[in-house]
Chain A
Amino acid sequence: MTTTRNQVLADIRAATARGERPGHQTHSFATDLQAEAALSPSALVHMFAERVSEYKAWVGYSTSAGLSEAIGERLALYGTRYVVPADFPADLVQQLPCVRDEQLSHADIASADGVVSLSALGIAQTGSIVLDAGVGQGRRVLTLLPDYHLCVVYAASIVLTVPEAFERLRASIQERRAPLTFISGPSATSDIELNRVEGVHGPRRLEVIIVDAPGR
């Protein structure tokens, strides 16, 4: 196997030695891109909410103080048994029909009526939510198997662009080697006549509660 490795590397070196070699860059060309014009905090949250809902996800608002109640209202709609990550904030779950993920089996998770999680950040321009296995987000399978995902996004964590998100996520990768999941709407497919149809393997219902949105 070592010989194959050396063979491939030798082939690469032979191939690149022939061509011209543009200078070795230490900075990313990404940083040369013009920055987007900044939005006011409330416009930013508004854009995020609008674009998340364009993917046919439900979007609601809450204050920090009212969050437990806001979550409870949504959960009452769809079932009686939910799962939350092992480190989900205790004050949020006390009143709720939630089981903590303390080594639940895949079957246990799949049979839950839904999952509630926090998130790392939101991206306004694309209506995306990013999970980075940080506090209240749990292991990846938890937010995958149940058919319903209620995701809490703090308004302060919303950024405008994709590059800003990557800048913030650098620490998650470098300091914790965190697995990342970008979620933009519920599971969907475009495989039948290239039209987007919601609901294949991931959660078919995605709901988002934005917390402490300015001006609300």
Chain B
Amino acid sequence: MKPDSVIIELSPEFSVGAKQALQNTQLRRNMGKATQTIRAKRATVVGELPNWESLRDAGERIKAETMAHLDVYIERLEKNIQAAGGTVHWASTAAQANEIVTKLIQATKSKHIIKVKSLTTDEIRLNEALEAAGITPIETDLAELIIQLAHEKSSHILVPAIHKNRSEIRELFQKAMHLPDLTDEPKELAAAARTFLREKFMTVKVATSGANFAIAETGSVCVVESEGNGRMCLTLPDVLITVMGIEKILPRWEDLGVFMQLLPRSSTGERMNPYTSIWTGVHPGDGPQEFHIVLLDNGRTQVLGDSVGRQTLHCIRCSACINICPVYERTGGHAYGSVYPGPIGAILTPQLVGTEHAASLPYASSLCGACYDVCPVKINIPEVLVHLRGRVVREKHSHVSGWLDPESIGMSGLGQVFGNRMAYEGAQTMGKLAQWLFVHDGYIENGPGPLGAWTAMRDLQAIPDQTFRQWWRERNEHDDHA
């Protein structure tokens, strides 16, 4: 089923958003510093494990097998959560999920909820739906809180406020928390958030969360975090509502042991994140006595049905691909216009909302492949990018206007030239004759017409006096004479 909500205000074109971002020098400094820090940390802890590559293989194989038998595992998960006292809900679309969550909260009469950071609830825009129903969601992750106080959008899946530096955060907290004397010392900023949120943790009776993993075999759900806000939300309230994409399932208990090695090292560059909570239904006398989980499709089954695109669902949201990406490092996350930025966003967003709504994203990459190298579950992001570019072009061609655009005409002309030996060699001769006006020292620095866009950034080597084909033929003739 088609998702009925676009992920976020999609920017009209990645290149437009990117151009804006590139003019913000503060942003570029913040991004450069943050991504360099995290890349170095990741490289150190990944280098520490001699079996890292086998771990990646295991991660990939577990995910591939899960996707192939998702129906079996999701029913098993449902059964085991129910057996442990939890309630399972299903949602095909974002609107359905929001409606389920809103009704559950309304039944408690609570006007506030505390939230564990969750991309899935960002994706379905749960906060907006709740606010429309008169319920105030309180983000409890430090970076999410910063974004919420600044009324901004996330720019990174792990650290949504990665584009903000400490002094910008200080200004925000000074105003929102009425702390005029607050310094920009990170420790003091963290302490301010602790005090600000403690009162909410102690009084609000309903929490929502996402899930990093859920184990079909045991019905257990797992949330991985750093600050302890997750533990607070998962243990203090009376009611817990978890929204989880259907692809987060792992078949067996021991599978989680693989991912708890892959995720922290790829994500924050730590041997282990400070806190991981794993719960199984309702635990009598310990934590929320009412537990609901909403299993969300919202476009995922469409992705599942595409044999090349399916691997996108293997993603464990670690953000290693984002941190390594030379494009992301320069543009930041907002240019992607989605809660999922960076390389993974460039393949996930167009598949979830349809390439027609995010046609520029598959092009937001130089195809350098660094993302593939660091991916802990070996998602071949460049392969999916190229696959989606093909889809964008095919969709364009399904309209008459698509056939008439200059790129399309040029490409089909090129196709004919490359497909025929005579035409190709003829074109080479023509090119040699035509290029003399533009060639300087063997390079074309300012190409004519559409070629100008290419040569604006790089030089093009001129067609040599003797082409490879001519050289090959003459070499054979020379050998025959010898």
Q: Do A182 and B272 form a contact, CB below 8 Å, given A30-B258, A107-B202, A189-B142?
A: yes
Chain B residues positioned under 8 Å from A140 (CB to CB): 231, 234-235, 277, 286-287
| Docked-complex contact B68 and A21, CB < 8 angstroms | yes
Q: Which residues of chain B have C-beta atoms less than 8 A from A8's C-beta? A: 90-92, 246, 295, 297, 301
* Partner-binding segment picked from B3-11, B58-66, B175-183, B383-391: B58-66
Nearest residue (CB) in B for A177 is: B280
B71 touches A12 (CB 8 A): yes
In the docked arrangement, what's the CA distance between A197 and B143, Å? 13
Does the CB pair A34–B54 fall under 8 Å? Answer: yes
- Nearest CB of B to A101, in Å: 11
Report the minimal beta-carbon distance from B147 to chain A, rounded to whole angstroms: 10
Least CB distance, A87 to chain B, in whole angstroms: 12
Residue B270 at the chain A interface, CB threshold 8 Å: yes
A79 on the B face (CB < 8 A): no
Neighbouring B residues of A194 by C-beta, 8 Å: 34, 37-38, 159, 162
Please state if B285 and A139 are interface contacts (CB–CB under 8 Å): yes
In the bound complex, CA of A16 to CA of B72 (Å): 11
Q: Is the contact region of chain B dominated by helix, strand, or loop, or is it mixed? A: helix
Contact A162:B257 (CB < 8 A) given known A173-B220, A191-B159: yes
Q: Point out the residues of chain A lying under 8 angstroms from B235, CB to CB.
A: 139-141, 144
Give the distance in Å from the alpha carbon of A182 to the alpha carbon of B166 in the complex: 29
A5 vs B78: C-alpha distance in the bound complex, in angstroms? 11
Partner of B280, one of A5, A28, A179, A202: A179
CA distance A165 to B256 in the complex (A): 11
* B190 A126 Cβ-Cβ under 8 A: no
Residues of the A chain whose Cβ atoms lie less than 8 Å from the Cβ of B64? 22
CB distance from A182 to the nearest CB of B (A): 4
B465 within 8 A of A: no
Q: What residues of chain A lie closer than 8 Å to B246, measured between beta carbons?
A: 8, 12
Fill in one digit per residue for B275-295: 1 if any A CB lies within 8 Å of its CB, else 0.
111111101011100000001
Specify which of A13, A15, A189 lies most central, judged by the most chain B CB atoms within 10 Å of its CB. A189
Inter-subunit contact A179/B307 (CB<8 Å): no
CA of A123 to CA of B272, assembled, Å: 10
Given A139-B287, A191-B141, A201-B197, A11:B301 Cβ within 8 A: yes
- Chain A 119-136, CB-CB to B under 8 Å as 1, else 0, gives 000010111100001000
What residues of A have a CB within 8 angstroms of the CB of B276 in the complex? 180-182
Inter-chain CA distance A202–B197, complex, in Å, is 12
Is B302 part of the contact surface with A, judged by Cβ < 8 Å? yes
Name B189's closest neighbour in chain A (CB-CB).
A192
Chain B: number of interface residues, binned into ranges = 35 or more
> Is A200 an interface position by the 8 A CB rule?
yes
CB-based nearest B residue for A21: B68
Tell me the A95-129 residues at the B interface (CB within 8 Å). Answer: 106-107, 110, 123, 125-128
The answer to whether A177 and B62 touch across the interface, beta carbons within 8 angstroms, is no
Do B186 and A192 have beta carbons less than 8 Å apart?
yes
Known: A189-B226, A201-B232. A173 touches B218 (CB 8 A): yes
Query: Closest approach, in angstroms, between the C-beta of B170 and any C-beta of chain A?
Result: 10
User: How far does the Cβ of A197 sit from chain B's closest Cβ, in whole Å?
Assistant: 4
B267, closest chain A residue (CB): A190
Query: A1 interface residue, CB < 8 Å from B?
Result: yes
**Contacting residues, chain B, for A33 (C-beta < 8 A):** 51, 54-55, 58, 258
Q: Are A167 and B280 in contact (CB under 8 A)?
A: no
Q: How far is the CB of A31 from chain B (nearest CB, A)?
A: 7
- Contact count band on A: 35 or more
Within 8 A of A (CB), among B181-207: 186-187, 189-191, 193-194, 197-198, 201-202
Whether A31 contacts B254 by the Cβ 8 Å rule is yes
A40 contacts B by Cβ under 8 Å: no
A174 sits at the interface (CB 8 A): yes
Least CB distance from A103 to B in Å reads 9
Q: Does B252 contact A (CB under 8 A)?
A: yes
Which chain A positions have C-beta within 8 A of B191? 199
Closest residue to B75 on the A side, CB-wise? A9
**CB < 8 Å neighbour of B278 from A1, A179, A183, A192:** A179
User: How near does chain B come to A35, taking the closest CB pair, in angstroms?
Assistant: 9
Within 8 A of B (CB), among A1-47: 1, 4-5, 7-9, 11-16, 18-22, 24-25, 28-34, 36
Q: How far is the CA of A24 from the CA of B72 in the complex (A)?
A: 10
**What chain A residues lie within 8 Å of B51 (beta carbons)?**
33-34, 36
Given A173-B278, A179-B286, A182-B260; 12 other pairs, CB 8 A cutoff? A16-B69, A19-B305, A19-B310, A126-B271, A139-B235, A140-B286, A173-B218, A177-B280, A184-B273, A191-B159, A198-B187, A200-B142
Identify 17 residue pairs between A and B in the complex whose beta-carbon atoms are under 8 Å apart, listed by A's number: A1-B90, A11-B301, A12-B304, A19-B307, A20-B68, A22-B64, A28-B251, A28-B255, A30-B255, A140-B287, A170-B253, A179-B280, A182-B260, A187-B228, A191-B142, A196-B268, A200-B228
Interface residues of A (CB under 8 A from B): 1, 4-5, 7-9, 11-16, 18-22, 24-25, 28-34, 36, 51, 55, 106-107, 110, 123, 125-128, 133, 139-141, 144, 162-163, 165-167, 170, 173-174, 177-203
Q: Which 4 A/B pairs are nearest by Cβ-Cβ distance?
A: A202-B228, A15-B305, A201-B228, A166-B257
